[in-house]
Amino acid sequence: MPPKIKREASKRAAEDEDAGDKPVKKAKTSATTQREIRHEEGEGQTGLAPNGQPTNKVLPERVEFAPKTPGTVRVAAWNICGLAASQKKGFKQYVEAEDPDVLVLTETKVNDVPADPALKARFPHQCWSISSKKTYSGTAILSKIKPVSVSTELPGHPDSTITKGRIVTLEFENTYVVGTYVVNAGADLKTLEQKNEWNRHFETYIRELDKKKPVIWTGDLNVAPTEKDLANAKRNWNKSAGYTEAETTAFARILNDPDARGGSPSGTPTVDVDPAQPRFVDVWRAKHPDLRHYTYFGYRFNCRAKGIGWRLDTFVLSERIVEKAKVCEIRSAIYGASDHCPVVMEIDGEL
């Protein structure tokens, strides 16, 4: 999510407005979304957008999910666009229904660690990274599982005012869980260089972690990795924050995958694979190679109903643990408490 100049003028307002003039082709719908829609019909659900996701603008009256797969750990990540606002619009209902073992929150906008006894009882182990700027950014990881260690720093980055409130790392016995609210390239790409600097240091950081233990990276990554991950790729390419060659190439370089295209609408490979470096996998995309489903829909221009969005939130895993990821889904019906939908993953074994 981009910097907050004005909320109503933030995000990708211009490109959403442009995109609203173009129809979106009918798209496939995941089995999970189909189950959600069947469950919610008759409760204010208005059906599916052209891209196959629901069109509700507030949370359903009832929120239910299937129990997690036995023997797995459920991790959820959600850009809540301000904890205080989200709590008035269904935050509690979602968390109770999802009941994750680990919950990664981004854009919390809190100024102090929240005094919430119910949240503390559900997640006794919490780490809140709070921006030095009032009601801005903010990242947290809430866990039922006690971590070995906790960090809120991006090593090597020269400006802590940029990184503060944007990263939390929890080390567990077998893995690292890294939650990020990645720096945004800004309106007219005016902070793209800040984003580039973040990406350079973050790639070094995640690779250093991976040398010790496998990594689960999640949160609002503030990049649409490929042309499938936003509604109007050609129109936004190298013009809109989150979909520039610099940003998509940085993401593809972390994946280190020979099939990574660096986001280009033409599909031209822009990343050289380094065989000496391990690979990471965008798990949702790996499990849904053809879906054009999104995690962010702007409130303006009826984007939700038109299926005009961006996939900015996901799970990226060290390649060696990808097979342990049994489920990875966008909770497409959970919209209205934020302009983002949560993402959830279930992974075999203990963290």
Backbone angles phi, psi at 75, to 5 degrees: -120, 130
Cα distance from N-terminal residue to C-terminal residue, the chain? 28
Angle at which helix 245-255 crosses helix 192-212, to 10 degrees, equals 0
**Phi, psi of 230, rounded to the nearest 5 degrees:** -155, 160
339 is in an annotated binding site: yes
**Does residue 288 have an active-site annotation?**
no
One of 157, 288, 293, 340 is an active-site residue; which one?
340
For 239, the token pair is: 């013009």
Angle at 73 between CA 77 and CA 164, to 5 degrees: 35
Distances in Å between the alpha carbon of 307 and those of 29, 190, 313, 336? 12, 28, 16, 15
What secondary structure does DSSP assign to 57-68, as a single string? SS--SS---PPP
Q: How many residues does the chain have?
A: 351
Spatial separation of the C-alpha atoms in residues 90 and 334, rounded to whole Å: 9
Verify whether residue 220 is a known catalytic residue: yes
Q: Choosing from 181, 205, 243, 294, which is the catalytic residue?
A: 181
**Short-list 115, 74, 125, 57, CA closest to 297:** 57
Strand partners, 157: none
Say whether 222 counts as a known binding-site residue: yes
Sheet holding 167-171, edge to edge: 149-151, 167-171, 176-181, 215-220, 313-318, 280-282
The catalytic position among 220, 229, 282, 313 is 220
Residue 146 is classified by DSSP as: P
Tell me the longest C-alpha to C-alpha distance in the chain: 54
Query: Catalytic residue at 176?
Result: no
- Number of H helices and number of E strands within the chain? 11, 12
CA-to-CA distance for 214 and 222, rounded, in angstroms?
Answer: 22
Q: Taking a C-beta distance cutoff of 8 angstroms, is the pair 323, 79 a contact?
A: no
- 168 token code pair: 């939390």
Query: 220 a known binding residue?
Result: yes
| Residue 107 labelled as part of a binding site | yes
Could you list the residues known to form a binding site, using ranges.
79, 107, 220, 222, 339-340
- Would you name the residues annotated as active-site residues? 181, 220, 340
Query: Which residues contribute to the annotated binding site for Mg(2+)?
Result: 79, 107, 220, 222, 339-340
